[in-house]
Each structure stands twice: as structure tokens, then as C-alpha cells.
């Protein structure tokens, strides 16, 4: 049986897709990359905001017309009955983490253990350390789909990390809905730093990157650890969502503008070379002109190397649903584009500050468009969401190579460098 799998949404969902691929492969299915060649297609969906839902539904409709299709993931977790009613031609619908049910449905053989089939370049992968979220952010539908926070035991994560290192992976990007909450449910206290200490001992792992840090949990212990670590990168992906205290209060984020300012300042003071990434939501129901201006001014202050901006999406079942959706689509989009264009210049400036610096670079692959030029990332660049660095070199490089480079060009989001490895 030839099975094709389509993964939609975020890195956390990609880990689930890789887990599914591993289960299908272990069960005897033949995996194919090109959906056209597949007998059956499994679509692992996302459904946290409107554009993600639209993309998922379009993908389902596109394939359900011509192929046997199974749909799983967040969208099904949330809207199974509606989907069954509206798109009955789909063979079966399953929620999140349903690789076993999919394998059973396909009649695949039972297996004892399963390893993920990696779909990222050999250099990096995502490592999920927990699932679900215990927070109560007013706008967020994720806990409705992913449930309460469940940390994976340290031993299980270490075992997986060992396996990944054995596959040649050099960078582990730790993901979860709330990475800083790690361990509280399992060990009665925050356990992220202890986990990092263990992960750093694994031979072959060169970089550990933390994604999705909740602002109030970026404490001194974590900062001190990163400051003294050779492997955990000084890269802070801290989704702030807004800066206006009024909006943050309504969002139930548990902090205000003063806190945000102190946090940013504190990270900079402890780690002057830290790279900050954040995300903001524009068009939240309570975001008046004044709140938006505060947000824009804050972005203009230039704290962040990288910025993601989402338009508010009113989601059933969330606390903010009852506030309505008074800000029109166009206005939200205008605010989003304005913030992104303000940030464009800042990102360029932050990149220019790296000119002349000698840094480690992890090779991800080659850019065929530019004549097969090696392309990789420095510590300031997370995979897939940030810019990349093009390498000028005489050597034959391979994905997963770690080299020393000197940054010598800035092309907006991306960088250029020369290989200075001896
Ligand atoms: S912390 Fe993140 S995943 Fe959890 S409720 Fe808030 S926005 Fe959603």
C-alpha cells in the first residue's frame, strides 16, 4: 500500500506527522513523497485560526476529489462532526495523536516501537518535549484541541534525542505549546534547565534551540544557564502577543507593558548578544487606535531581530469569542502589513550588526536557484521562520557540517558569509 502524508501547520504538527510516518512505515506501508503516486493520502491538519482552517479544508477538498483520503489532527479534533457531514467522501477522520488508529484503519501490522521518519534537512529537527497547554489566553483555541499540558518524561526525551543524534542531527529545536512549563505537571516544578543539562551531554548534538517560551517564565535560572551553555543558543522565541496593558489584560496573559519592557531589558543585560523573536496579534477586539499605536511604537524601538504578526481570528469556544470581532479584516491586514514593514528595516539593521562577526554556521543544504550555493544558519536564525546565510567556500560541504564563517553581506532578511574554517 502506497501512502502519502501531507502535513499542515506548525513544527509541533510536523513532529506528529513524522511520528505517523514512522508508524506507517513500521507497519509495512510504502511511503511516497508525491501524493499523485499514493493509493491513500493522510492529511494531518491544523485548525488554530481562520487561515489555517481554510488551508486545511481546501487541501481536503482538493484531494478527496481524486484520491482515498484520511484526515487527522487539530481540525478534526475541533470539528469532526461538521467535517463528517460536509465532506463525507473522506474515508475516516481522526483527532490529534492518532497514528495507531490510522495504522489500524489501514490494516497495518502491530509494532512494538516506532521511530519518527525525519522530513527536515539532516542538520536539524524538532523535538517535542510536551503536549497541550494549561494557560487560559483568551484568544487561543489550542487547549481546546490539544488539551491540558502533559510533559514527556526526561528519559523518553533523552532516548529520542540520542536516536536523533545517531541519525546525524546537529540541532535540536525544542518545541511544545509552552516550553517553559516543562516538567511542572510531572516533577512538581519547572524542569527545563535540568532537561537542557541532560540534553547537552549527548554527543553529536551541537545546538539546542528553545522555541515558544512563555514571557513570565523566562527566569534568571534559564538566562544564567543559556549564558554559560555552549550548546543552548542565546535565541529567545518569546511570543508576547501585544504590549498594551489593556489588551494584555483582556488577553489574560498575566503580564503588562511594564513587565514586557523589564523582560526585554533583562534578557539584553544578561546576554547582550541574545537574539529575540516574538509574535504579535493585531486586531484583537479591544485593540483601539491608541493600543495599536503603542504596539507599533514598541516595534519601532527595535527590540526584536525577528517578528511574526497574526491577524486576530475569532474562535468558537475561546474566552474572547464573546467580545465579537469588531475590527474589520482589511483594517487588521493593514495593521499587520504596517508592523511587518516597520520590522523589515529593524531586521536589516540587526543583521548589519553581524557584519564582520566570526560565527559557527550549520549547513542545511544547497540553494539550487543560486547555482547550488551552500546555505545554512547561524545561531540568530531558526529554521523555516527566519532568514538564512549563504556560504562562499571552496570546500565541498554536506548538510549537517558545522563551519566557522565571517559574515560579509546583508541582503535584508538573509546573510552572506565566507567560510573561514581552517
Ligand atoms: S500559552 Fe500559547 S498555546 Fe497556551 S493558551 Fe496561551 S497562546 Fe494558547
pLDDT at 346: 97
Q: Does residue 135's CB lie within 6 angstroms of at least one atom of ligand 1? A: yes
Same domain? 219 vs 348: yes
User: Does the pLDDT at position 421 exceed 90?
Assistant: no
CA 363 centroid distance within chain: 20
User: Does the pLDDT at position 35 exceed 90?
Assistant: no
What is the chain's mean pLDDT, rounded? 96
Q: What are phi and psi of 119, to 5 degrees?
A: -115, -5
User: Is 294 inside a domain boundary?
Assistant: yes
Q: Which of 133, 139, 145 to mutate to test the pocket of ligand 1 (most atoms within 8 A of CB)?
A: 133
Q: In which band, very low, low, confident or very high, does the pLDDT at 116 lie, cut at 50, 70 and 90?
A: very high
User: Does the pLDDT at position 422 exceed 90?
Assistant: no
In angstroms, the CA 382 to CA 391 distance is 17
List the one residue out of 122, 120, 137, 13 whose CA is nearest residue 76.
Answer: 13
pLDDT at 127: 98
User: Does the pLDDT at position 387 exceed 80?
Assistant: yes
pLDDT tens-digit readout, 250-276: 999 999 999 999 999 999 999 999 999
Domain limit, last residue, from 352, 384, 403: 352
User: Is 112 inside a domain boundary?
Assistant: no
pLDDT at 66: 87
User: Is 14 inside a domain boundary?
Assistant: yes
Domain enclosing residue 235, as ranges: 124-352
Domain limit, last residue, from 311, 331, 352: 352
User: Is 129 inside a domain boundary?
Assistant: yes
pLDDT at 359: 98
User: Does the pLDDT at position 212 exceed 90?
Assistant: yes
Q: Are strands 358-367 and 402-411 parallel, antiparallel or unpaired?
A: antiparallel
pLDDT at 65: 87
Least confident of 140-144, 198-202, 290-294, 368-372: 368-372
User: Does the pLDDT at position 36 exceed 90?
Assistant: no
DSSP structural state of residue 117: -
Q: Does residue 27's CB lie within 6 angstroms of at least one atom of ligand 1? A: no
Same domain? 72 vs 163: no
User: Is 385 inside a domain boundary?
Assistant: yes
Ligand 1 atom at shortest distance from the alpha carbon of 141 = 8
Same domain? 234 vs 188: yes
Mean pLDDT, residues 201-214 taken together: 98
User: Is 114 inside a domain boundary?
Assistant: no
Same domain? 189 vs 252: yes
Using DSSP's 3-state secondary structure scheme, residue 59 falls into: helix
Using DSSP's 3-state secondary structure scheme, residue 252 falls into: coil
| CATH number of the domain enclosing 334 | 3.80.30.20
* Buried/exposed code over 66-99 (b: 16+ C-beta within 10 A; e: otherwise): ebbbbbbbbbbbbbeeebeeeeeebbbbbbbbbb
Same domain? 271 vs 166: yes
What percent of the chain is modeled with pLDDT above 90? Answer: 94
pLDDT at 47: 87
DSSP structural state of residue 14: H
Same domain? 146 vs 12: no
pLDDT tens-digit readout, 57-90: 999 999 998 899 999 999 999 999 999 999 999 9
User: Is 118 inside a domain boundary?
Assistant: no
Same domain? 259 vs 384: no
Q: Write the CB contacts of 261 (distance below 8 Å, at least 6 apart in sequence).
A: none
Q: Does residue 177's CB lie within 6 angstroms of at least one atom of ligand 1? A: yes
**How many structural domains does the chain have?**
3
pLDDT at 368: 87
pLDDT at 336: 98
Using DSSP's 3-state secondary structure scheme, residue 179 falls into: helix
Q: In which band, very low, low, confident or very high, does the pLDDT at 325 lie, cut at 50, 70 and 90?
A: very high
User: Is 110 inside a domain boundary?
Assistant: no
Q: In which band, very low, low, confident or very high, does the pLDDT at 218 lie, cut at 50, 70 and 90?
A: very high
Same domain? 218 vs 152: yes
pLDDT at 409: 96
| CATH number of the domain enclosing 34 | 3.40.50.12160
| CATH number of the domain enclosing 404 | 2.40.50.140
Mean pLDDT, residues 116-126 taken together: 96
Question: If you take atom 6 of ligand 1, which residue's CA is the nearest one?
Answer: 137
**Has this prediction a pTM greater than 0.75?**
yes
* Buried/exposed code over 9-37 (b: 16+ C-beta within 10 A; e: otherwise): bbbbbbbbbbbbbbbbbbbebeeeeebee
User: Does the pLDDT at position 178 exceed 80?
Assistant: yes
Same domain? 329 vs 405: no
pLDDT tens-digit readout, 181-195: 999 999 999 999 999
Ligand 1 atom at shortest distance from the alpha carbon of 253 = 6
In angstroms, the CA 84 to CA 102 distance is 16
pLDDT at 273: 96
Q: Which of 52, 136, 140 to mutate to test the pocket of ligand 1 (most atoms within 8 A of CB)?
A: 140
List the one residue out of 119, 128, 125, 124 whose CA is nearest residue 151.
Answer: 128
Same domain? 410 vs 331: no
Distance 248 CA to ligand 1 centre (A): 13
Same domain? 270 vs 189: yes
Question: If you take atom 3 of ligand 1, which residue's CA is the nearest one?
Answer: 177
Domain limit, last residue, from 334, 352, 370: 352
Identify whether the C-beta of residue 299 lies closer than 8 Å to the C-beta of residue 339. Answer: yes
The residue written with cell numbers 527566569 in the block is: 219
Same domain? 338 vs 365: no
pLDDT at 400: 97
pLDDT at 171: 98
What percent of the chain is modeled with pLDDT above 70? Answer: 100
pLDDT tens-digit readout, 295-324: 999 999 999 999 999 999 999 999 999 999
Q: In which band, very low, low, confident or very high, does the pLDDT at 370 lie, cut at 50, 70 and 90?
A: confident
Amino acid at each position: 500500500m502506497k501512502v502519502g502524508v501531507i502535513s499542515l501547520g506548525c513544527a509541533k504538527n510536523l513532529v506528529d506527522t513524522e511520528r505517523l510516518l514512522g508508524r506507517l512505515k513500521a507497519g509495512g506501508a510504502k511511503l511516497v513523497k508525491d501524493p499523485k503516486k499514493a493509493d491513500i493520502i493522510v492529511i494531518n491538519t491544523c485548525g488554530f485560526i481562520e487561515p489555517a482552517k481554510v488551508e486545511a479544508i481546501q487541501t481536503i477538498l482538493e484531494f478527496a476529489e481524486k484520491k482515498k483520503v484520511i484526515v487527522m489532527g487539530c481540525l478534526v479534533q475541533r470539528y469532526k462532526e461538521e467535517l463528517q457531514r460536509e465532506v463525507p467522501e473522506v474515508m475516516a477522520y481522526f483527532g490529534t495523536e492518532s497514528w495507531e488508529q490510522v495504522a489500524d484503519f489501514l490494516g497495518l501490522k502491530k509494532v512494538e516501537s516506532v521511530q519518527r521518519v525525519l522530513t527536515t534537512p539532516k542538520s536539524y529537527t524538532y523535538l517535542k518535549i510536551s503536549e497541550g497547554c494549561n494557560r487560559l489566553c483568551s484568544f487561543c483555541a489550542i487547549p481546546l484541541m490539544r488539551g491540558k499540558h502533559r510533559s514527556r518524561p526526561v528519559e523518553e526525551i533523552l532516548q529520542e534525542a540520542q536516536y536523533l543524534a545517531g541519525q546525524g542531527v546537529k540541532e535540536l529545536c525544542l518545541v511544545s505549546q509552552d516550553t517553559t512549563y516543562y516538567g511542572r505537571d510531572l516533577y512538581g516544578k519547572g524542569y527545563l534547565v535540568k532537561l537542557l543539562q541532560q540534553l547537552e551531554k549527548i554527543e553529536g548534538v551541537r545546538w539546542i534551540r528553545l522555541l515558544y517560551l512563555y514571557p513570565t517564565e523566562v527566569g534568571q535560572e534559564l538566562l544564567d544557564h543559556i549564558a554559560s551553555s555552549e550548546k543552548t543558543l542565546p535565541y529567545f522565541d518569546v511570543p508576547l502577543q501585544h504590549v498594551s496593558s489593556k489588551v494584555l489584560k483582556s488577553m489574560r496573559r498575566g503580564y503588562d507593558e511594564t513587565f514586557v519592557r523589564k523582560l526585554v531589558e533583562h534578557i539584553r543585560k544578561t546576554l547582550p548578544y541574545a537574539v529575540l523573536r516574538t509574535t504579535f496579534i493585531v486586531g484583537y477586539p479591544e485593540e483601539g487606535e491608541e493600543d495599536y499605536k503603542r504596539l507599533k511604537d514598541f516595534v519601532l524601538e527595535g527590540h526584536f531581530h525577528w517578528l511574526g504578526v497574526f491577524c486576530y481570528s475569532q474562535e468558537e469556544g475561546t474566552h474572547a469569542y464573546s467580545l465579537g470581532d469588531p475590527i474589520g479584516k482589511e483594517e487588521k491586514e493593514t495593521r499587520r502589513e504596517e508592523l511587518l514593514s516597520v520590522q523589515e528595516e529593524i531586521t536589516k539593521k540587526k543583521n548589519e550588526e553581524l557584519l564582520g562577526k566570526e560565527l559557527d554556521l550549520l549547513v542545511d543544504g544547497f540553494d539550487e536557484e543560486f547555482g547550488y550555493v551552500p546555505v545554512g544558519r547561524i545561531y540568530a536564525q531558526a529554521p523555516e521562520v527566519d532568514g538564512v546565510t549563504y556560504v562562499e567556500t571552496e570546500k565541498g560541504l554536506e548538510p549537517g557540517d558545522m563551519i566557522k564563517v565571517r559574515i560579509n553581506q546583508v541582503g535584508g532578511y538573509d546573510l552572506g558569509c565566507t567560510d573561514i574554517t581552517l
